[in-house]
Amino acid sequence: MLSVQVEQRVNFKFLVKLEKTITEAYAMLKKVYGNRDVKRPKTLRSGRPSTSKTGENIKKIGKLIRKDRRLSIQGLDEITEIDKGCVRQILHKSFNMCKVCAKLVPQLLTPEQKEPRMNICADIINNIDTDPGLLDTMSTCDDKNQKVGKRLKQKRRRF
């Protein structure tokens, strides 16, 4: 046999499925159970909506994130005045986005930052084209690679 609370919960779900409003369902349960302790549904306890994941907010966050993909969840929270948890859920569920460590990647560089990098890379490629043995003379800071480099030099001397 079901406990009274479980029975009330089952009946409440039944009434909601019959498209009764929460207020109507609560009133019906009060009428049926009389003076027994009928707990109010949680949605009636607070005056604010249970979620900020409305279509309007999803569109607003989508527009902002398409405009600037570098915005953080905290930044979107401050701009839209939506809770950080809801912003994260909207990004994850509605836009299939996930958290990635903040890294400096080429697509996020400004044109002023890209130009010197491109010039340096072009210089290195030109130097390698003019001197094919240039890469053999480069050394790394890794001890293992230095040992391998020394062995290669020793092998070359034998021949």
Element (H, E) at 55: helix 55-67
How far does Cα 78 stand from its chain's mean position? 16
pTM of the model: 0.37
Q: What is the pLDDT of residues 46-79, one digit of tens each?
A: 444 556 778 888 999 989 888 887 888 888 888 8
Using alpha carbons only, how large is the chain's radius of gyration in Å? 32
Q: In the predicted model, is pLDDT for residue 134 greater than 90?
A: no
Residues 6+ apart with CB under 8 A from 92: 98
Interatomic CA distance for residues 36 and 15, integer angstroms: 19
Q: Is the dihedral of CA 78, 83, 85, 87 positive or negative?
A: negative
Interatomic CA distance for residues 117 and 136, integer angstroms: 23
